[in-house]
Amino acid sequence: MDTQSSSSTVRDHVLQPLEEAGLSGFHWRTWLTAGMGFFTDAYDLFIIGVVTSLLTPLWHLTTLDLMLLNSTALFAAVLGALIFGRLMDRLGRKTVYGIEAMLLTGGAILSAFAPNVWLLLVFRFIVGMGVGGDYPMSGIIMSEYSNRKRRGFLVNAVFAMQGFGLLVGPAVAAALLASGVPDATAWRLMLGLGAIPAGSVIWLRRSIAETPHFMLGARGDAAGAAQVVGTLTAKTVAAATQSVKPLANSARVLFTNRRFLLTLIGTAFSWMFLDMAFYGNSVSSSLIMKALSPTGSLLTHTLTSMVIFLVAAVPGYWISALTIDRLGRKFIQVMGFAVMAVAYGILWLAPGIAQQTTEFLLVYGVSYLFIEFGPNSTTFVFPSEVFPVTVRGLGFGISASAGKFGAAIAAFLFPVLLVRLQLSGTMGLLAGISALGVVLTLLALRESKGLTLREASQEALLEAPAADGTLAQGN
């Protein structure tokens, strides 16, 4: 048996108990530890829209100021996802995990004390770096500690914490607006409270053990991985004595292997299309509510958004989590994009519906439900599974960065689009973007439900060199 075949056999042997283990308390602790970052992300996503509404008369914000405040954290997240994604591949998951939560916490506190719009933009950039870093870190750590049959549920459940953040955001905003707290104080409290969920898990993240997948794939440490798997599964896992050769850890494998490149195109651009629709909607939800009901108060608009999140968004996240390992990632993503395209198309082709509040909110709510029970969940799950362990962080980071770039562009342009294209025209643009998501998913992504993580990521392609000694290119 050659070294490559031996190493592959050892990796499969050591990881098998982890892949077949049932859910345990460790899985739930890891879910909570990872999920609080996404709670913070969603809280911050919503709250900035209310904050800018309060700051506009206080600081005499221009349209450009609004565009920058809505999008700066998202542009920073593009950079954060790339940096943290590559660092976790080079230095290890344990070495890096928790730093992104420190950025989220520190950025939120600093934002609450910002004296002017320019420093607020700087502090929002710090928050965005933390948000971007949290995507590959938390998604991959949960994926690498999950079992084969429930991996989709566990990774999806981490992301589903966004649903609670989307709910708590408007609840906090509504409570402060209704309490009589001066606007000059309310917006600072709204931003500062974002430090609490992220700060509460810094220690837990810093103390988490290195994942067995990384120990085996990147370091060749079969004995260490066997010990961690044995501890987690309460089973004896024999430490291998054979030499375990680490997998290639060069960024170029994502671009020189045709299978990995097609997968990367699928994960990155489907995430971009999703976030262009989703973040433009969410960040500017207060603007959408104002366009729908010009005479309504900010409190009324905020409460309306909260009801939409409660009725549509939160259930959508958990329906996705509970069904993803049965229906499959690809089916849910295609279905979600398709329903989004139809819902946005109705709002575009029947512009008069914007004058019918109940009908508009019904269609708008359906679009939210199938965003969450659809590509908003699956675009997070896919990249945590489909790349080899040594470039998984980079593949996830590129995908998340593409998503956040699309989100930033949407958040930056959405206020202008609502003015130039009106509500119906903007929804037509989102319908077209959603339709592109359907086509891309069908062409570029393969189903990964029920597979081991090594099977889903096609790591065998890194273990089978071509005849000339280079990496096998795939088809």
Domain 8-235+252-458: which CATH class? mainly alpha
- State yes or no: pLDDT of 467 exceeds 50: no
Better pLDDT: 408 or 172: 172
Segment 236-259, tens digit of pLDDT: 877 655 568 888 888 899 999 999
Is the distance from CB of 379 to CB of 271 less than 8 angstroms?
yes
Better pLDDT: 360 or 469: 360
Segment 432-446, tens digit of pLDDT: 999 999 999 999 999
Q: Look-up: residue for tokens 């905020």? A: 302
Helix axes 285-292, 298-308, angle to 10 degrees: 110
Q: What is the mean pLDDT of residues 135-140?
A: 96
Segment 151-163, tens digit of pLDDT: 999 999 999 998 8
Average pLDDT value over all residues in the chain: 87
- State yes or no: pLDDT of 144 exceeds 90: yes
Which of 249, 248, 220 shows the shortest CA–CA distance to 463?
248
- State yes or no: pLDDT of 31 exceeds 60: yes
Q: The whole model's pTM is what?
A: 0.88
Highest mean pLDDT of the ranges 67-76, 135-144, 290-299, 418-427: 135-144
- State yes or no: pLDDT of 43 exceeds 80: yes
- State yes or no: pLDDT of 463 exceeds 70: yes
Segment 118-133, tens digit of pLDDT: 999 999 999 999 999 9
Segment 328-387, tens digit of pLDDT: 999 999 999 999 999 888 878 887 776 676 777 777 778 888 999 999 999 999 999 999
Better pLDDT: 335 or 41: 335
- State yes or no: pLDDT of 279 exceeds 70: no
How much is the pLDDT for 74?
A: 84
pLDDT bracket for residue 472 (50, 70, 90): very low
SS3 assignment for the chain? CCHHHHHHHHHHHHHHHHHHCCCCHHHHHHHHHHHHHHHHHHHHHHHHHHHHHHHHHHHCCCHHHHHHHHHHHHHHHHHHHHHHHHHHHHHCHHHHCCHHHHHHHHHHHHHHCCCCHHHHHHHHHHHHHHHHHHHHHHHHHHHHHCCCCCHHHHHHHHHHHHHHHHHHHHHHHHHHHHHCCCHHHHHHHHHHCCHHHHHCCHHHHHCCCCCHHHHHHCCCCHHHHHHHHHHHHCCCCCCCCCCCCCCCCCCCHHHHCHHHHHHHHHHHHHHHHHHHHHHHHHHCHHHHHHHHCCCCCHHHHHHHHHHHHHHHHHHHHHHHHHHHHHHCHHHHHHHHHHHHHHHHHHHHHCHHHHHCHHHHHHHHHHHHHHHHCCHHHHHHHHHHCCCCCCCHHHHHHHHHHHHHHHHHHHHHHHHHHHHHCHHHHHHHHHHHHHHHHHHHHHHHCCCCCCCCHHHHCCCHHHHCCCCCCCCCCCC
How much is the pLDDT for 393?
A: 97
How much is the pLDDT for 28?
A: 95
- State yes or no: pLDDT of 287 exceeds 70: no
Write down the domain spans for the chain: 8-235+252-458
pLDDT bracket for residue 464 (50, 70, 90): low
pLDDT bracket for residue 296 (50, 70, 90): low
How much is the pLDDT for 465?
A: 55
- State yes or no: pLDDT of 12 exceeds 50: yes
How much is the pLDDT for 2?
A: 53
In this structure, of 288-297, 320-329, 367-376, the range with the lowest mean pLDDT score is 288-297
How much is the pLDDT for 238?
A: 73
Highest mean pLDDT of the ranges 114-118, 298-302, 425-429: 114-118
How much is the pLDDT for 291?
A: 57
How much is the pLDDT for 361?
A: 72
Segment 81-119, tens digit of pLDDT: 999 999 999 999 999 999 999 999 999 999 999 999 999
How much is the pLDDT for 100?
A: 95
- State yes or no: pLDDT of 213 exceeds 50: yes
